[in-house]
Amino acid sequence: MLAASSSEADSATKEWKHKRNCAISPRQFVLFYLSLAAVSLGVALIAAWRGGWLVLPFTGLDLLVVGVAFVIHARHATDYEVIRLSPVSLVVEQRSAQRLTQYEFNPRWVRIDIEKPPRMRIVLRSGSRSVTVGAYLAPHRRETLARELRRCLAQQA
Tens-binned pLDDT, residue by residue, of the chain (157 aa): 555 544 444 445 899 999 988 888 778 888 999 999 999 999 999 999 999 999 999 999 999 999 999 888 888 888 899 999 999 999 999 998 889 999 999 999 999 998 887 778 899 999 899 999 998 898 889 999 999 999 999 887 7
Is 146 in the same domain as 109? yes
In a domain, 38, yes or no: yes
Is 139 in the same domain as 89? yes
Distance from the first to the final alpha carbon of the chain = 27
Q: Domain of 46? A: 26-77
In a domain, 34, yes or no: yes
| pLDDT at residue 131 in the model | 95
Is 73 in the same domain as 30? yes
User: What does pTM read for this prediction?
Assistant: 0.72
In a domain, 58, yes or no: yes
Is 33 in the same domain as 56? yes
Q: Which amino acid does the sequence have at 51?
A: G
